Chain A
Amino acid sequence: GAVVSQHPSRVICKSGTSVKIECRSLDFQATTMFWYRQFPKQSLMLMATSNEGSKATYEQGVEKDKFLINHASLTLSTLTVTSAHPEDSSFYICSYDNSHDNEQFFGPGTRLTVL
């Protein structure tokens, strides 16, 4: 399967600061990628879907101005949590769509803690 990396794996920040999370596909190019959020002991919730070269589509209830997604290239996407607050603390996971059989390849996740 494809390899997807995320950086950083863990980040702690102060309330009010912005945090950027990178998601890279290491061995394939994908036009579609997804960002998920997972709260403790809960399932993954889709935040947004983006296609390379176009704006992301956000799920209902997800603030686009707070969670900025830049699908910069076929191998790199970034999620920036702007003006982070403690309630944004969560596990953020990205995934790429392999575009031919609907399988997604998930990154290892980023644990964000906002103090």
Chain B
Amino acid sequence: AQSVTQPDIHITVSEGASLELRCNYSYGATPYLFWYVQSPGQGLQLLLKYFSGDTLVQGIKGFEAEFKRSQSSFNLRKPSVHWSDAAEYFCAVVFGNQFYFGTGTSLTVIP
């Protein structure tokens, strides 16, 4: 069965430090891949998406993600975290036309 895994429930980083949030999926083919960010009490904002082509995808707010087919992964990265990046991050994949969300990773940024 298809699944999306975000192994890290919660991550704490210092402001200015680098960040990597992990996402793995289980599917026979390459799905469409997304990363969303959700601030408390808010809806989802799309950070970036991957459909095909260059496996390193640039998104908004300085985020990027790299699709690695061999590892079935689509990890999100940012070189230098800002305090405003504190939020919940969801990886999502589309199988067919249905979205499947990971369980989310909560990011805390400390001064």
Name B's interface SS: strand
Tell me the bound Cα distance from A54 to B46 in angstroms. 29
Q: Is A104 an interface residue (CB 8 A)?
A: yes
Contact B101–A43 (Cβ < 8 Å): yes
Residues in A whose Cβ lies below 8 Å from that of B41? 91, 109, 111
Q: How many A-B residue pairs lie within 8 Å, measured between CB atoms?
A: 46
Q: Is B51 an interface residue (CB 8 A)?
A: yes
Chain B contributes a number of interface residues (CB within 8 A of A) equal to 20
Tell me the bound Cα distance from A1 to B48 in angstroms. 12
Max count, chain B CB within 10 A of own CB: residue among A6, A102, A106, A111:
A102
Contact A46–B98 (Cβ < 8 Å): yes
Within 8 A of A (CB), among B36-90: 36, 41-44, 46, 49, 51, 90
Name B98's contact: one of A6, A49, A101 (CB within 8 Å). Answer: A49
Contact A46–B99 (Cβ < 8 Å): yes
Tell me the bound Cα distance from A82 to B61 in angstroms. 40
Give per-residue flags for B97-111: 1 if the beta carbon is below 8 A from chain A beta carbons, else 0: 111011110100000
Asked whether A106 and B43 contact (CB < 8 A) given A34-B99, A42-B104, A44-B101, the answer is yes
Tell me the bound Cα distance from A15 to B51 in angstroms. 44
Contact B42–A109 (Cβ < 8 Å): yes
Q: Is B94 an interface residue (CB 8 A)?
A: yes
CB distance from A10 to the nearest CB of B (A): 9
Give 12 A-B pairs besides A32-B97, A101-B51 with Cβ atoms closer than 8 angstroms.
A1-B46, A6-B43, A42-B104, A44-B90, A49-B98, A101-B32, A102-B51, A102-B97, A106-B36, A106-B44, A108-B43, A109-B41
What are 15 sample pairs from A and B whose C-beta atoms fall under 8 A apart? A42-B103, A43-B101, A44-B44, A44-B90, A46-B98, A49-B98, A93-B44, A95-B99, A97-B97, A102-B32, A104-B99, A106-B36, A107-B43, A109-B41, A109-B42
